[in-house]
Chain A
Amino acid sequence: MPNVGIVLISHSLKVVEGIQEIIQQAVLNVPIEIAGGTDDNKIGTSVQKIINAIVKAYSEKGVLLFYDLGSAKMNAELAIELYGYENVKVVNAPLLEGAYVAAVESSIGKSLEEIEQTTQTITKDS
């Protein structure tokens, strides 16, 4: 049984590479994919990179998308709409802390809905 996948979206490739590294130190059985920077790796986000990351992280258990600043969210929502994925959701939680908690929850087999609910209440101290 696969686990819920996580996609990290940031304006900077370095940011999501770093966060991926932090999460994978603790969680090994969850797909953590990244979409950082524009197509030519400048500061910004890319719909195509987000779609590619969703495809890689995808299973029937679904994928949760975490983002950093405003336009990253817009491109995440656009990626989902354009390709009509089921079970793929954008999460409104801090990128690092949110994705970390989600990855841990996913690793113990929680569902997309359960993880989404937990991430709603995340603060620095949780």
Chain B
Amino acid sequence: MKLDVQQVLNWLEKTNEKIQMNKEYLTSLDRAIGDGDHGINMSRGFQEAIDKTTTTTYISVSDVLKDVAMTLISKVGGASGPLYGTAFLKMSMVVKNRELIDKKTLENALESALEGILQRGKAQLNDKTLVDVWTPVVDLLKAKEVIKGSELEEVAKNAMESTKERMAKKGRAAYLKERSIGHLDPGSVSSYYLFASLAEVLSEEE
């Protein structure tokens, strides 16, 4: 597999479409166990990012990812801004000076993004945060020589659904303790949209 600038833009546009389509759903998930701003923040942040990337000419994938990072950091007021912003910033640093992202580079980029998320948010695996989706996705990439879109989608989806039965230990939902059980983690759902979109781009290539 190889991702060029156009495919990375495609990945982001697909992610944005899913977020816009599910804005109310994300908000309702966050209202149940958080502060109810995840749908609004993600839809605004990604729309602004897409507005930026669709009006800019890129020659490197790194610049695309960096623009997304800076837009999310500056436009999103909730926790998703610094977390996703840090993730995209780390990815852009790993793919710097490359025209294409091959499988190994994607693996390194996502691993570095996960490290950034962990460092920024101080969450651990199974705290019912987006880390619970990013970790198995990175593990999958590390375990496989070749990555298939369908596998990626399945792993991300199962990971997202597994957050439902967990008790939140980090983020606003952690204040609810056992009452957070039985609800999906909104950040894990939006991370699923990101990886489901990446899976679609990978599948188109297969």
The answer to whether A and B come from one shared complex is yes
- Bound together, the chains give a CA A79 to CA B91 distance in angstroms of 19
List B contacts of A38 (CB < 8 A).
77
Contacts of A82 in B (CB 8 A): 73
| A70 lies within 8 A of B86 (CB) | no
User: 1/0 per position for A24-58, CB-CB distance to B under 8 A?
Assistant: 00000000000001110011111110000000000
Asked if A78 contacts B85 (CB within 8 A), the reply is yes
B130 at the interface (CB under 8 A from A): no
Alpha-carbon gap, A38 to B171, bound state (A): 19
Q: Contact residue range for chain B?
A: 20 to 34
Contact (A75, B82) CB under 8 Å given A47-B74, A48-B74, A69-B172: yes
CB neighbours of B83 from chain A (8 A):
74
B176 CB, min distance to chain A CBs, angstroms: 14
Evaluate whether A44 and B120 lie within 8 angstroms (CB atoms) in the complex, with A70-B79, A74-B82, A78-B82 already known: no
Chain B residues 79 to 105 lying within 8 A of chain A, measured CB to CB, are 79, 81-83, 85-86
What residues of chain B lie closer than 8 Å to A97, measured between beta carbons?
none
**A74 in contact with B121 (CB, 8 Å):** yes
Please judge, given known A-B contacts A74-B121, A77-B120, A78-B73, whether A44 and B85 are in contact too, CB under 8 Å. no
- B-side contacts of A120, CB under 8 Å: none
Closest beta carbon of chain A to B29's beta carbon, Å:
17
| Bound Cα distance from A40 to B192, whole angstroms | 29
A/B interface sample: 9 pairs, CB < 8 A: A43-B77, A47-B81, A69-B172, A70-B170, A74-B82, A74-B121, A75-B82, A78-B73, A78-B82
Q: Interface of A with B (CB < 8 Å)?
A: 11, 37-39, 42-48, 69-71, 74-75, 77-78, 82
